Structure formats: C-alpha cells, structure tokens
Amino acid sequence: MVHTTYTYKFILIVFKIQGLLDIKFYFKLLMLGILNLFTISMDVNTRYQSFLNQLRSAPALRKTELIYHTPFELLIAVILSAQCTDKRINLCTPALFQAFPTPEKLSKASFEAVFAYIKSITYPRSKTTYLLETARLLVTEFQGVVPNAIADLQTLPGVGRKTAHVVASILYDAPVIGVDTHLFRVAKRIGLASYASKTPFKVEQELMRYLPTEQVQAANQWMLLHGRYICVARKPRCNQCTITNFCNYFQNNQHDI
C-alpha cells in the first residue's frame, strides 16, 4: 500500500507537468492505475495464501498464555492484561482469584482490598475500579455469568473491542480477532495489513476480509505469539523466523537485518 501511495503521488506530479489536453495521456494513466491495483491485489492474495499454508503446517497453539480456571477468571485476567504482560498478570491473579473467586464475592470487595492484589501491574487504580464495576454488572445484569455476545461484553467497564474479542474467541470460539499491539505490528510487517491502516479496527477489517473464518483464531494466536517472541518491536529476530520467504518487511529490509 505504501508502494501504491508513492505511485499515485508520482502520477499526480506527471499529471501536472503533462497539462490537461492530451487524451492519449489520460488513457495511459487509466491503464497504469488499473494495472497497478491489479498487481497490488495479486501480491496481497499471494501473501495471504503463503501465510495460510504455513499456518496449516504450524503446531496448534494454546488459545492464551493467561492462567484461568473459569470464564469469570479469564475475563478478569484479560481486563488486567491491557498494556501489561501475561507473565506479570499470572503472578498476581492466583491470589486475587483465591480471595474473590466469583463475581458476587468481587462485587462486595472494597477498593483497597482489590488494589492490594493488583498494585504491581500497570494502571492498578483504574483496573481496580474496572474489576469492581464489572463484577457488580455481572451480578446485576447477567446473573453472574460472563455473557457470550460481544455487544454485551463491551458494556462491561474495562472491556473494549479487543478485550471482548479475546474473551469471546477463547471462551465461545467466536471467529473474531483481538488486535493488540503485537498483532497490529506483525500484520503490517508481514504485509497482511497495510501501513496506511492506522487503527487496530482498520487492521482487523483488513485481516477479516482475507482470512477464511475457520482460520481466524489460529491466525490471531500465531501472530500474537510471533510478535511477542520473534517479531519483537524494536528489532525483529528475522534470523529465527520461518516466514522470511513471504514477509514484506524482510524482503524490503533484508540488507539491513
């Protein structure tokens, strides 16, 4: 898509130089545009095909690295994991879940009591408020059960689109994608999403357009773990990567890697 942008900037400059009267020139311009779009579309399709092929041969992955035993515990762990590592969350949740194993128990807890269990994670004050409010709503609106509809999940404090998708995917096998910071980066580097997509929602839309429904979850989890351990933010570990043959970033930067 970056390629597309540059191509059209170039075309616009030529357009200004050429003047406004040459019909043949307009025709050539139109043909070039169509050819360019066709080429880009072919590239994306080929890249998705390569990605899906490698996904089929990859070992099955766990749905999450967060430790939980009930849907309620998963929901709480995912809320806590926003902008924090799963490793850190797994250190504090066992004691939290032991003290407050159900929405009913958590909804009756004091702010200070909950805060004490999660003070070592990111944004502990906001997250304490989210947990207490979410527990209260689960009790009053959902009979103490984690809802399976994404729209219902998103009514819970601390549950945005990404969190709702992660929970629905893990608990209810919903074919949805939770675009976190790793997935956002990895999808663009591989070339499955465009650098022009500036928001997680845009990246999600691009992925959902091309991924077959039955491979959405596997693709989601593979990219997330790949971003966490191999395609890390600062310097991707391309020498350990199995998809260099179709990764857009690698193909454009291999001389610098």
Please report, as ranges, the residues that interact with ligand SF4 according to CB under 6 A.
189-190, 230-231, 236-238, 241, 243-244, 247, 249-250
Given the complex with ligand SF4, which of 225 and 230 has the nearer CB atom? 230
Given the complex with ligand SF4, which of 110 and 245 has the nearer CB atom? 245
Question: Is 159 in contact with 124 (CB distance < 8 Å)?
Answer: no
Measured N-to-C along each axis, helices 86-99 and 111-118 cross at an angle, to the nearest 10 degrees, of 140
Catalytic residue among 16, 86, 173, 180: 180
Nearest-angstrom CA–CA distance, 120 and 96:
12
24 is catalytic: no
Measured from the CB of residue 79, what is the shortest distance to ligand SF4 in angstroms? 29
Catalytic residue among 63, 162, 173, 188: 162
Given the complex with ligand SF4, which of 117 and 250 has the nearer CB atom? 250
Task: Provide the residue type at 86 as one letter.
Answer: D
Nearest-angstrom CA–CA distance, 142 and 129:
19
Task: Provide the residue type at 228 as one letter.
Answer: R
Given the complex with ligand SF4, which of 148 and 244 has the nearer CB atom? 244
Measured from the CB of residue 232, what is the shortest distance to ligand SF4 in angstroms? 8
Query: Within 10 A of 209 (CB to CB), how many other CB atoms are there?
Result: 10
For residue 111, give the DSSP letter: H
Measured from the CB of residue 212, what is the shortest distance to ligand SF4 in angstroms? 21
Measured from the CB of residue 190, what is the shortest distance to ligand SF4 in angstroms? 5
Question: Is 166 in contact with 78 (CB distance < 8 Å)?
Answer: yes
Nearest-angstrom CA–CA distance, 96 and 231:
32
Q: Please provide residue 65's backbone torsions phi and psi, each rounded to the nearest 5 degrees.
A: -95, -5
Measured from the CB of residue 59, what is the shortest distance to ligand SF4 in angstroms? 17
Given the complex with ligand SF4, which of 138 and 243 has the nearer CB atom? 243
CA angle (95, 98, 104) in 5-degree steps: 125
Contacts by 15-19, CB closer than 8 A, 24 or more apart: none
180 is catalytic: yes
Residues catalogued as catalytic:
162, 180
